[in-house]
Amino acid sequence: MRSPKNWLAILLKPFRKHRAEQELDEELRFHLEKQVELNIAAGMSPDAARRQALVEFGGVQQTKERVREISWGYPLEALLQDVRYGLRMLRKNPVFTAIAVLTLGLGIGMNTSIFSLIDSILFRSLPASRPEDLVLLRWHAHHQPKLHGHSSYGDCPNNRSANNPNPNGCSFSLPFFTIARSQTNLFSGITAFAHAPQLDLSGNGAATIVNNAQFVSGEFFSTLGIKAALGRMLEPADDTPASASAVVLSYGYWQSAFGGSRTAVGRTIRLNGLPFTIVGVAQQGFSGLSPGSQFDLWVPLATRPHLTPRWMPKDDGGGSWWLILVARTKPGVSVQQAQTAVSLLYRNETLHEEKPLYAEADAPGVDVVPAQQGLEGFRRTALPPLYILMLAVALVLLIACANIAGLLLARAVGRSKEIAVRLMLGARRSRLVAQLLVESLLLSFAGGALGLLLARWGTYGLMVIATRFNSGPPPFNPQLDGRVLAFTAGTAILTGLFFGLIPALRSLRLDLTPALKTGSGASTAGISGSKWYSLGNALVVAQVSLAIVALITAGLLVRTLRNLEKVNLGFDAHNVLVFGLNPTLAGYKGTQLDPLYRDLQEKFAAVPSVTSVSYSWMALLTGGEWDTDIHIPGTPESERVDSDFMPVGPRFFETLRIPLLAGRDFSGADFSAASLRSARPPDSPPDPAAAPIPVIINETFARRFFPNINPLGRHVDEAMTEDKTRPRGPGWDVVGVVGNTKYEGLRREISPTMYVASGGNGWFTIRTAGDPMQIVPAIRDIINRRDNNLAMFRVATESQQIDKLVFFDRLLARFSTAFGLLAVALACIGLYGLLSYEVTRRTREIGIRVAIGAQRSNVIRMVVVPGLLLATTGAAVGTGASLGVSRLLSSTLYEVNPGDPVTLVGSAIVLIVVALAACYFPARRATRVDPLVALRYE
């Protein structure tokens, strides 16, 4: 066994080259002299003995080389030699090196930037202690459960589609959570959480609306291992009906709303008019468990009945599912054991109650899955745009690699004599390939280092753009962590091999005799089969193909954006201010709502420059939508259809300039009746003896359900419910027809819609003669003078709301267009470089042609036609490939097909025109060749 001293000597041997060479010379000299002595002893003369010894050794230098190769340190020594030589060669060609490094840095940097965002969304661990131990509970069955209510806010996938034969989800009832929490033999900790409704927060300056609050069980923070930055976290004792109401703030909300004051802990605030004590601030960096969630505060589950408007006892019963359950299995209990035990509890709870939620054949059960996998949060909405951008920047990087490969091919041809000389001196071809690959890898590593720097700037820019409409910090925090660095290193290595291997192999296809005869400027001397630069042609075709894919993708996204921007809204969105107001959070109830809204409507209308004011349940194009099941008389009694539903206030259609096509608008009597209806308890049964409710329908409703007849005066029934004991309501009578309008969003098709008179709730819509935002201070002042506990929220113009709806489409269109144009530019630069090289290579031929009378047009055609042929071939290949790639965009596109001929043909024309420009300049240079100079060339 070697001593540590000997191992150190071996490790340092490659770095002590002079000493090692000296020892090798001495050893070879010793063996050579011994052989000479033996030959002399055998009767040879001294000269003959030395000559024979050298023959037997096979050459001293060759013997040295073989000895070096069998040394374990030889690969490292060879690598160091190649690195030094590669650096010298790159330094010798600074322009080429700068272009290659900048191109690679841009491509690798863009890829790293997008990957860092994907990494932060897809691979980042949940913000909890030991997140790998957390599990999520998910139910499954063969049919839908018979529920009173179901809520899911995107924490995890819920597949409850009526067409799904095996529905599943992760929302559970409060009684089931109580049972699961009692299973201390299975879980060392289990917690439940759910989104809270809008909360009106007062007692800390002006009243504000909190949209990001969460109900959590008392074990929430202890189960997740979240510590307090200030004060304490919620505890099980806080989650009881008899305990004093406590609230915990997120670190970011504490900083923004309370100025980071330590006196905030212990302060009493009011949520929906109820007193709550701030007991602590969560540790920095935690704003919720689900990926991308950003909560401002947390309150105990026990406070839900007091903070939820129109809450009823059955909302916390076994038929109301709204809680997400996350647990830690107890040490010694496997996930399979926990799953079996919880599934048994679930079956007992849902099958054997007084009102079973399933039939036995439904086979209900529970899956226990890793929380990291099961909690998706905002991943589903954030990842698709990033995947599209990742595809675009990957195409740019591939084109850049092909471009540099073409440059290296041309450069390798210029080094043909150097390579031929090295081969003649005995260098092995594999050794030369390795040395050329090291040069390529040096370029890619330099590009990767530059790419990391560009990625930091790019990621920051993307986050600033992506959070343009958000008031808080970005939901994801990309960082250059180990995965991102590994991705960049891997990309750099693969990139270097990709653009370096083929040129390195191609450069060794030398015919040594002609290569040694020509000068270094001989373009193709000694390269067999290089009369037509076929490998360079293939690289150009590949670049053009990838560029056309990027350009077509950009074209489809741009057309989608244009289609969305040109959508017929059905109303005039200019000079319209919208904002939300929820008086129920400030304690207003029943008949108090209608007088409040009427009073505010009158005062808003008196503000200078205001031309019209109305209100509705939800402002158009703000993302909310209400639909209801109805029954059309004359169809089977059990048949139900779906219709959008919108309660609106006085002058709603006038304010938004929605045309009234037939019938009448709502009257004062209609609104008075609506006010009385809104004052009834939320779950009170309908009165069959009541008069039908007046309703105004849109064109789509009239065409679909009353075709070829006058819809005015027609009656619409409420759909039959599964509860046969519940009477059917009085239904609706059609009193008017208005034009179609977009309701929830731009992409959704216009559905049949019913408008009813509102008893006072929701959003205000104000039309002005000038800029709507200029009246916001006056509107705030009116509301504060009426009641300073009322808080406005989501204040914006209708145009800003529309911009928000198309923001990510605009972002995708702009980025993909930039990447597509960059791809086209790189591809055409590659084509230009190839044709310029061809003109240089064929200078003598061109001179001879001109000397014997070739016309200028013939010379241009000789250069341009092959270039256009390459571009056309690449465009054809890329167009075919884009049909498969663009189908991945089908869910993102709007009113444009992946195979849209206008986009395909337009993209091809743009590329061919740019390619023609790339062909023209080398062609013009070819026409200016002086025959006398050309005949002396080379």
Complete DSSP assignment for 223-260: HHTPPEEEE----GGGSSTTSPPEEEE-HHHHHHHHTT
Highest mean predicted confidence (pLDDT) among 11-15, 70-74, 909-913: 909-913
- At 204-246, the pLDDT tens digits run 887 888 989 999 999 999 999 999 999 999 999 999 998 989 9
Residue 95 in tokens: 């322009």
d(CA 751, CA 501): 58
pLDDT of residue 423: 67
CA 812: distance to chain centroid?
10
* Distinct helix (H) and strand (E) counts, the chain: 29, 27
d(CA 938, CA 844): 8
CB 138 within 8 A of CB 369: yes
Mean pLDDT of the 517-542 span? 56
- At 434-443, the pLDDT tens digits run 777 888 888 8
Mean pLDDT of the 496-520 span? 65
CB 403 within 8 A of CB 103: yes
d(CA 620, CA 559): 24
Mean pLDDT of the 274-300 span? 92
Mean pLDDT of the 601-627 span? 92
DSSP label at 520?
A: T
CB 739 within 8 A of CB 699: yes
Nearest to 766, CA basis, from 585, 588, 602:
602
CB 710 within 8 A of CB 661: no
Q: Given a cut of 70, is residue 936 above it in pLDDT?
A: no
pLDDT of residue 804: 86
What angle, 0 to 180 degrees and rounded to 10, lies between the N-to-C axes of helices 60-70 and 74-92? 110
pLDDT of residue 585: 85
d(CA 251, CA 258): 10
CB 679 within 8 A of CB 591: yes
How confident is the prediction for the chain on average, in pLDDT? 83
Cα–Cα distances (Å) from 17 to 22, 23, 66, 74, 737, in that order, read 9, 10, 16, 11, 94
Top-confidence residue, 525 or 835: 835
849: Cβ contacts below 8 Å, ≥ 6 apart: 858, 859, 862
Q: Given a cut of 70, is residue 821 above it in pLDDT?
A: yes
Highest mean predicted confidence (pLDDT) among 315-324, 618-627, 772-781: 772-781
Mean pLDDT of the 855-867 span? 80
| Other CB atoms within 10 Å distance of the CB of residue 60 | 13
pLDDT of residue 528: 41
Q: What percent of the chain has pLDDT over 90?
A: 31
- At 750-803, the pLDDT tens digits run 999 999 998 777 899 999 999 999 999 999 999 989 988 888 888 999 999 998
CB 124 within 8 A of CB 154: no
Secondary structure element (H or E) that encloses residue 148, with its range = none
Q: Given a cut of 60, is residue 14 above it in pLDDT?
A: no
What angle, 0 to 180 degrees and rounded to 10, lies between the N-to-C axes of helices 534-565 and 379-414? 150
For residue 697, list its beta bridge partners. Answer: 737, 754
Reported confidence tier of residue 525, pLDDT bands at 50, 70, 90: very low
CA–CA–CA angle 916, 535, 502 (5° rounding): 130
Highest mean predicted confidence (pLDDT) among 150-154, 620-624, 646-650: 646-650
> Tokens 């160091």 — which residue?
80
CB 351 within 8 A of CB 176: no
pLDDT of residue 933: 61
d(CA 653, CA 655): 6
pLDDT of residue 247: 96
Q: Given a cut of 70, is residue 918 above it in pLDDT?
A: yes
3-state secondary structure 841-886: HCHHHHHHHHHCCCCHHHHHHHHHHHHHHHHHHHHHHHHHHHHHHH
pLDDT of residue 523: 43
d(CA 247, CA 268): 10
- At 546-581, the pLDDT tens digits run 888 888 988 999 999 999 999 999 999 999 999 999
Burial zone of 259 (CB within 10 Å; 0-12 exposed, 13-18 middle, 19+ buried): exposed
Mean pLDDT of the 267-278 span? 92
Q: Pairing state of beta strands 320-321 and 149-150? A: parallel
Residue 906 in tokens: 């337009």
pLDDT of residue 432: 76
What's the pTM? Answer: 0.77
pLDDT of residue 885: 77
Reported confidence tier of residue 468, pLDDT bands at 50, 70, 90: low
CA 234: distance to chain centroid?
34
Reported confidence tier of residue 524, pLDDT bands at 50, 70, 90: very low
Q: Given a cut of 60, is residue 477 above it in pLDDT?
A: yes
